[in-house]
Each structure stands twice: as C-alpha cells, then as structure tokens.
A and B are shown apart, each in its own frame.
Chain A
Amino acid sequence: MKREKPKLVSEDGVRHDGRRLDELRPVKMEVGVLSNASGSAYVEFGKTRVIAAVYGPREPPQRYMVLPHRAVLRCRYHMAPFSTDERKNPAPSRREIEISKVIREALEPVVMSEAFPRTSIDVFIEVISADGGTRTAALNAASLALADAGVPMRDLVAAVAVGKVDGYLVLDIDQVEDNYGEADMPVAMAPSLNMVTLLQLNGVLSPQEFSQALNLALKGVNEVYKLQKETLRNKYLVRVE
C-alpha cells in the first residue's frame, strides 16, 4: 500500500512547492481575534492554521493547583477533528498531551509567572488545519496571544522546524516533507535573550548537519520573531490612523 517516495528537492535546490531550501512558507499572523479571551492570536504557516487563546491570570479551577510563589501555566494543544485528511478523534491523544507539555515548558522560561502568585494563566491552542509544523505554529501563536493578553514575559518565543529531505537541510518543513524526509527538528527560541526553549529531533543528523540545521533554524526564528513584533505593533498603529 505504501506509495512511492516522491522527489521532494530538485537538483537546483527547489522544493516540491516551489520554495528555496531556506525559505519559510507564506506566514500570516493576527492578534486579538477572539473577543472573550484576555488575549488571542491566529497564525498561519502555509496550510497549517492555528488559533491560540489566553485567559488569565485568574483563579485556578482547582485548589490543589495553586502555587504560593508563582502562577501556574496551563497549556492545551488540541487538533480539531477536521484539521487532518482523515477525521481525527477529538479526544486528546498521547501526542497532543505530550505537545501540550513541551509547549508549556517552552513558554515557562519567558512568562514572568512570579508576578502573579496563586493564579493560573491558561493557554488554549486549537489547530484548525494541519500541514506539518503544527507545534511550532502553535508555539508562535501562544506567545503572541500571551503578549496580547498583557501577561509580562521576558521575550516572545519564536519557533520554526528544520528538516532533512532528500539529503538537503530545509527550513520550515511541511507534512509531505516530514513524511518522506530523513529528519525533523523543531526549534523554539527567545531571540533577544539568545535562549533556546525547545529543541526536538526526530530522525538522524550527523553532528555537522546538526550545527548547520541549528544555524538554519536561527535564521528562520529571527524572521518569525520580526513578523511577531510587527503584528503586535500593527494592532495599535492601525488604530491611530
């Protein structure tokens, strides 16, 4: 049943969707998309579309969660049943629970939760349409939504994935490249602090390839970071005119 592996990168370095090796998919970002949340954001990387909502700081729903010295950060990453080709069971899967955890851990170092003891800050991320790189898109949306909510954070978190496809290192891999590629490495950073908050690697890279891939990710992260800041500024600049 397994289909033949398609050719994903041509000899002159053009990918199956026409991108160069170090090119992001078309990115769209927006903040303040939900009226009932304290802060919200919509992020689009090609066909990957994600909405994030932030509520709080608010009273934690259960007493046992309360921490006396800081706010608890709660994260929920969820894929909508219609987000994939085949209907996805809406119950949180093992994968979604794990991604929720790594997203929370990628955000915890930047959120200044010590300013709000005994509260909880809740981040809900819904994947509307999945085409690879959903955890990085989710992380970008979550950090935008936190900033939009006015939660103090040391820096924004920007994320992008690097993959190895047909022997080439490529930036921001999509679903097809992930399925047939040799490696997938999502990287999230707080660029102003020069701090990596998430780094995962699926597949095999040689040490040289790894450091090349990290440099490529750094370039992508900085591009995403610039877009995030622009998005946050635009919200207030538009209102002036």
Chain B
Amino acid sequence: MSAQTEQRVERVLVTPGDKLAEGDYKILTPTTAYRVGTSYYSSIVGLLELNPQEKSLKVIPLKGSYYPRVGDVVIGIVSDVGLTNWELDIRAPFPGILYAVDYLGRAINPSKENLKDFLDVGDVIVGKVEVFDRTRNPVISTKGKEFGKVVDGALVEISPVKIPRLIGKKGSMQSLIESETNCKLIIGNNGRVLVLCEDKRYEEIVVRAIRKIDVEAHISGLTDRVKEFILVEKVKKGLVGNEERKA
C-alpha cells in the first residue's frame, strides 16, 4: 500500500482464495484469513484491513452465522422448559442452556415447583455465555445486574457479523446512538439488539438506524450517515426542530 493511505486504513473487498499479503503478518481474525508458508489468503467474502506498520491484517466478514464463545453477551428467547433448566434460542447451531439454579439463585424442587411459572416459552433473556467447550451445549448465565429477563423495549435482529460495526471503535457508534436519542442499547453478540427508550418516539428512529447499519456496514463514512439519519428523523418527528428554530 502506498504512503498516501497511511492515515486511513484502506478497506479492500476480497473473496476466498485471494492473496492478501506476503511476509510476516499477524492475523487478527483467525477464521477469516489463513497462511500458507509466507503467503496470506482470505477464506471469506469480506473487507481486508492491512496494516503494514503494525504488521497485522484482518478480514472483516460481510456475511456469516453466530458461533458462541465464552464471555459473549447473548440475547436468547426461551424455546423449551425443562425440569431444572431452560433451553434458549441464541441463533447459534446449539441451544443455550440456562440452569434454574443460576437464574433463580437457589436450588429448586422439580416436584413442587414448575419452571414455567418463572420463564415460559417466548420470554427474552439477556445473558452471558459462561461455559462452552465444544463437547456440551453453551451454558448461559444471568448473574450480573445487566442480565436477566427482558420486560420492556424493542428487540432488533441483525446479522451477527455486523455487531462490531454497531458497537464501533471503542463503542463510538453505540455511544453516538445513545447520546443522540437518550436510549440505551443492549447489544448481544448473537445479532440481537435490545433498544430501551424512555421516550417511545425515539424507539422507531433507533430501530431504523440499527437496520441501516446492518445494510450499509461495509460502506465507508457510516458514522456520519447514521448521525445525519438520526437528526433528519428527529426533525421529521418534531423532536428537535422547534427548539432549533427558536434559537
């Protein structure tokens, strides 16, 4: 890459089998790029970010499914109620297991209590992948004050590979949306986003902004466009226009 592009990292569209670089690089995304000898190849349709200074490269996928990892925040929907645990749909190849001991914080007696009374099919849960070791299904934990059953808000589903874009560099995109609309986003790594707004009029704007990010994630200048989009929508709904006209 030439010296002119030093400031901004250039993104290049690559397809499986494309040669990315030669030499000694560090692969930051191990499943989407691989090396043979001293050559690096892409394994996916994605955007290449090559950093010659730090000798690192990554390929950002444009499409893909969710595969759980320990520590991921996931938003699951209860799909089955067992005797001592719930099964959650977490948009992964496996169901997430939520143990009653974990959710209720105490042991339960299956002969006296029915788990249906606490969580039923269709309920939405925010949790964290606690254990996932490739031999058993991922175990979801709801310990922590931000986790638990969802009772309010709007749930948006987007492609899981677009989640890093929705969060942004050091959370920039997320904090932009949150500060512009006074809403709170709970972002699950499995591609589900929970939008919590005190003012319900903002909810629709945020949901549409998230959908916009899902569709346009691979086009540069996204942050500015999202900012403009939110502003335009706010004016349309009469949420900011009046004050600005007064000023």
Contacts and interface: CB of A to CB of B under 8 A. Distances in A.
Interface stretch (B16-24, B163-171, B200-208): B16-24
Nearest to A155: B17
B134 A68 contact: yes
A147 B135 contact: no
Given A57-B93, A147-B44, A153-B43, A236 B17 contact: no
Interface string B130-163: 0000110000000000000000000000000100
Interface stretch (A1-9, A93-101, A123-131, A189-197): A189-197
A115 interface: yes
A203 interface: no
A16 interface: no
Nearest to A114: B31
Interface in A129-172: 147-156
A49 interface: no
Contacts of B18: 192, 229
Chain B interface main SS type: loop
Contacts of B134: 68, 117-118
Interface residues of A, number: 37
A39 interface: yes
A190 B17 contact: yes
Interface string B36-71: 100001011100000000000000011111010000
B15 A118 contact: no
A112 interface: yes
B107 interface: no
Contacts of B67: 57, 115-116
Given A192-B19, A193-B17, A149 B63 contact: yes
Contacts of A228: 15
Chain A interface main SS type: mixed
A155 B16 contact: yes
Interface string A100-127: 0000000000101001111100000000
A119 B18 CA distance: 26
A57 B65 contact: yes
A88 interface: no
A118 B218 CA distance: 31
B83 interface: no
Interface of A: 38-39, 56-59, 68, 110, 112, 115-119, 147-156, 190-193, 228-229, 232-233, 235-237, 239-240
Interface of B: 13, 15-19, 31-32, 34, 36, 41, 43-45, 61-65, 67, 93-95, 134-135, 161, 218-219
Given A56-B65, A68-B134, A154-B34, 12 more contacts: A38-B65, A58-B65, A59-B93, A112-B43, A116-B67, A147-B15, A149-B64, A150-B45, A154-B43, A156-B17, A229-B15, A229-B17
